[in-house]
Amino acid sequence: MNLQSIILLAIVLGLFFVVGYRYIRRQRKSRGGSCCNCSSGSCCS
Amino acid sequence: MKLNELKIGQTARITSVGGEGSLRQHLLDMGMIPGAEVTLIKYAPMGDPMELRIHDYELTLRLAEAKEIEVKDEGLKMKDNNIINIQETNLSSPALDSSSIIPHPGLGEGGHFHDNSPEAHTKPLPSSMRLTFALAGNQNCGKTTLFNQLTGANQHVGNFPGVTVEHKIGIIKGHPEAQIIDLPGIYSLSPYTSEEVVSRQYIINRRPTAIINIVDATNIERNLYLTLQLMELGVPMVLALNFMDELKGNGGTIRVNAMEHLLGIPVIPISAMKNEGVDELVEHALHIARYQERPQRQDFCHPNDHGGAVHRCLHAIMHLTEDHCQQAHIPSRFAACKLVEGDERVLEALKLSQNEKETLEHIIQQMEEERGLDRQAAIADMRFQFIHSVTQRTVVKPRESREHRRSQLIDRVLTGRWTALPSFILIMGLVFYLTFTSVGVWLQDLCQAGIDWFTEVSDTALTNWNIAPAVHSLIIDGIYNGVGTVLVFLPLIVCLFFFLSMLEDTGYMARIAFVTDKLLRRLGLSGRSIVPLLIGFGCSVPSIMASRTLPSERDRRMTILLTPFMSCTAKIPIYAFFATAFFPSHAGWVMASLYAIGIVVGIVVALILKRTMFRGEPVPFVMELPNYRLPMAKNVMRLLWDKAKDFLQRAFTVIFLASIIVWFLQTFNFHMQMVTDAHDSMLAQVAGLVAPLFEPLGLGDWRIMTALVSGFMAKETVVSTLGALFGDVVLTTIFTPTVVFALLVFCLLYTPCVAAIATIRRELGTRWAVGIAVAQCHIAWFCAWLVVII
């Protein structure tokens, strides 16, 4: 695997973990509810 | 005679209001009090419910409830002013005639300190202290519009009673220390629906620093009813008269100084929509909060009113319960009124002794005897008499507003006896036609072309950079294929939400409830259930939350159970994906039939539930019909942006994650070796375990199983997973149209997504949420099986 492939894979995996972490944190904060109906997110707190 | 015996256009005076419990209290709170004039406007197309005009606004009521109300036809003609026989002595303040000039009382303004307690003069609240404002008012009076203006937030605003179903918090612009809470709309502090309970609990238990009470100036009599109850709480309060521009535009006005003088609270005319008077409102609100300026008037009864029966009763109770009120931290005037009305929660909180309870009952019975009205009616009457005294002195009634005249004309067609149902079918047909066959599809093609171009460019770039095949596959086959397949449906979803928001913002949604009430009652639901159900075609989450506007737990539960049968926009990608591949010339019909199947199954389930778990009648249909209004472009655009943003967020979170996970599971085996054939992958082996369950449906393919399981996270992922798993395989060579239709029916009916389940859990509890998910999977399997065998 060449350097550019490793860099790209690192970026994708980094994104994967950041997005996953933020998603789980948001789900926990909203107790599983969705922010479908609220734009500011304040109603999900 | 009974109210239901009135003829269209006939006006009569209410003599007594029958019924019992919270419905009767609600009717009284809405102004259905003995002495009020009521005019029958029309019946719904199916003969029930009826539309009435009372206190200058339109109210709907079923014939069964109307039978409980006695009226007297005195040959009255429809008038602007509905209350008659008001005792002019109801106000203890100096008499004011319409020509008196009242100097500006200056309540809530700098340099004036209106609280009598010496501490208030010298000790305003510390400037660092957080001020909490409760924004309270009737439904559909512009609370959320004002909230958005005050905070710069983007909450959704609609023209339907009960858009706000839970409180929202924001910070007032330019005042970081001032927090404002947008409460759901309420008509009184007697809780009738669960959203009203939310507001009442907040105001009474959380004790905000001050209240901003917004009222609809064009319908002030009914709106002031809540104002009086809020004033009884003794919390600093400012009154915002919204829609003043509309009132003045129709030749009416409000003598603000006189109203401020009579009510004893700052009164600010505003137009929340045009952002007029909002800064002044903020200044006054901050002032009364900092200096804790409480309402100067909390006593609305008068010793001369009908011999002072209500006055003596309330004051006797205030003395009787004073110590209990102090202990329970409940304002004594508020507690007295609630005790007379028979509010169990207040009675419980006060912890009265048996002896005191008996004394209380004697006092109330004496009042009933002297006043000639039962307890609830007497209190409602006392409040409305005071309101009338105030409005008579301060309000110049407008001629019939242009908005109202326009609404009446439109309603002749949209709620007309022979035209209502065809109009409803036509409008809904047009919505689905424009979304799924013309505008939506055109935009979708545009989007698809953009995504294809981007994928191609990226593919070429990755090849030129000599990216390793595994990483290349991860990006193109995993991420681009997964996210891109879903992203293409964004235009359809935005289109459907656009039309649903138009229906709501114009005020047509309330008419749909009025027109369909009788039909829905046969299914055991109330007309108000139509709104959550229609929103369900957009997204189940707001739809489940919208069910809070339903006044009974039974109706609410039943509506929530049925909502997932209304096919949400997240399922559109699945339908469109298969319909265009397998039924290219009948794609529109296939999609329409799926929506129809969802509705039919919903009806069957409703009928079963009505005869089993939810026996009994749906609760009465008491609802205000708002005037039609042109939706504000800003409001509609804001909603569309919110929906698009939400969809994009999902695409780049859940679907992005799911795409990578699915790609990983289908590319590697349990020994972490890349597989050349997906059949050897981890995914194939795990999904293969469940596959036999779906053999009878012809869906025993592990790839289908994987897609269905991933759909539990978000329905859109079904398509992205299928896209990733099938890759370049031509689907028409693997499945028959019957099997595909069975799959579509299964997708339509099986468990709602995790967000919807979580919302159901929040609303009804874990047992219901799990029960609904399991039951829907069974129903989906059964219906898909029927498709296969038929």
Q: How far apart are CA B785 and CA B779, in angstroms?
A: 10
- Last residue in a domain, options B47, B69, B85: B85
On whether both B139 and B271 belong to a single domain, the answer is yes
Q: How far apart are CA B667 and CA B727, in angstroms?
A: 12
| Sheet of strand B57-61: strand arrangement | B69-76, B11-17, B37-43, B50-54, B57-61, B623-624
Q: Are B578 and B744 in contact (CB under 8 A)?
A: yes
Q: Are B91 and B390 in contact (CB under 8 A)?
A: yes
Q: How far apart are CA B32 and CA B22, in angstroms?
A: 14
DSSP state of B570: G
On whether both B379 and B471 belong to a single domain, the answer is no
- B403 part of a folded domain: no
On whether both B236 and B334 belong to a single domain, the answer is no
- Which pLDDT belongs to residue B671? 87
CA distances from B524 to B4, B521, B528, B544, B620 (A): 22, 5, 12, 18, 12
**Amino acid found at B703:** R
- Which pLDDT belongs to residue B752? 85
On whether both B611 and B473 belong to a single domain, the answer is yes
- B7 part of a folded domain: yes
- B117 part of a folded domain: no
What 3-state DSSP class applies to B18? coil
Beta strands (DSSP E) in B23-177 are 37-43, 50-54, 57-61, 69-76, 131-137, 168-171
Q: How far apart are CA B507 and CA B438, in angstroms?
A: 25
Residues of chain B short of pLDDT 50, as ranges, are: 79-96
Structure tokens at B261: 């003088």
Residues of B in contact with A23 (CB under 8 A): 653-654, 657
- B405 part of a folded domain: no
- Which pLDDT belongs to residue B87? 41
- Which pLDDT belongs to residue B155? 61
- Which pLDDT belongs to residue B112? 52
- Last residue in a domain, options B290, B316, B335: B290
Residues in contact with A28: Cβ distance below 8 Å, sequence separation at least 6, in sequence order: none
Residues of B in contact with A12 (CB under 8 A): 471, 474-475, 479, 660
CA R_g for chain A? 16
Of A4, A23, A38, the CB nearest to B465: A4
On whether both B638 and B664 belong to a single domain, the answer is yes
On whether both B472 and B607 belong to a single domain, the answer is yes
- Which pLDDT belongs to residue B746? 94
- B144 part of a folded domain: yes
Describe the crossing of helices B143-151 and B278-290 by its angle, rounded to 10 degrees. 80
pLDDT tens digits for range A14-41: 999 998 898 888 777 655 443 333 333 3
Q: Check which CATH number belongs to the domain holding B260 and give it.
A: 3.40.50.300
**Amino acid found at B678:** A
In angstroms, the separation between the Cα of residue B368 and the nearest Cα of chain A is: 44
- B124 part of a folded domain: no
On whether both B474 and B371 belong to a single domain, the answer is no
Q: How far apart are CA B9 and CA B434, in angstroms?
A: 39
Q: Check which CATH number belongs to the domain holding B50 and give it.
A: 2.30.30.90
On whether both B252 and B347 belong to a single domain, the answer is no
Q: How far apart are CA B65 and CA B67, in angstroms?
A: 5
Q: How far apart are CA B77 and CA B84, in angstroms?
A: 13
Q: Are B17 and B32 in contact (CB under 8 A)?
A: yes
B471/A35 CB distance under 8 A? no
In angstroms, the separation between the Cα of residue A29 and the nearest Cα of chain B is: 13
Closest residue by Cα to residue B87 from B377, B376, B386: B386
Q: How far apart are the first and last CA of chain B?
A: 56
Provide the number of CB pairs (under 8 Å) joining chain A to chain B.
88
What ipTM was estimated for this complex? Answer: 0.76
Domain count, chain B: 4
Q: Check which CATH number belongs to the domain holding B350 and give it.
A: 1.10.287.1770
Q: Which range marks the domain in which residue B703 is found?
A: 423-617+631-789
Q: How far apart are CA B758 and CA B765, in angstroms?
A: 9
Query: Is the Cβ of A28 closer than 8 Å to some Cβ of chain B?
Result: no
On whether both B348 and B282 belong to a single domain, the answer is no
On whether both B387 and B472 belong to a single domain, the answer is no
On whether both B450 and B593 belong to a single domain, the answer is yes
On whether both B669 and B731 belong to a single domain, the answer is yes
- B506 part of a folded domain: yes
Structure tokens at B685: 């082996």
Q: How far apart are CA B655 and CA B370, in angstroms?
A: 69
pLDDT tens digits for range B315-326: 999 999 999 999
- Last residue in a domain, options B85, B119, B143: B85
- Which pLDDT belongs to residue A29? 65
Residues of B in contact with A39 (CB under 8 A): 153-156, 638, 642, 645
- B668 part of a folded domain: yes
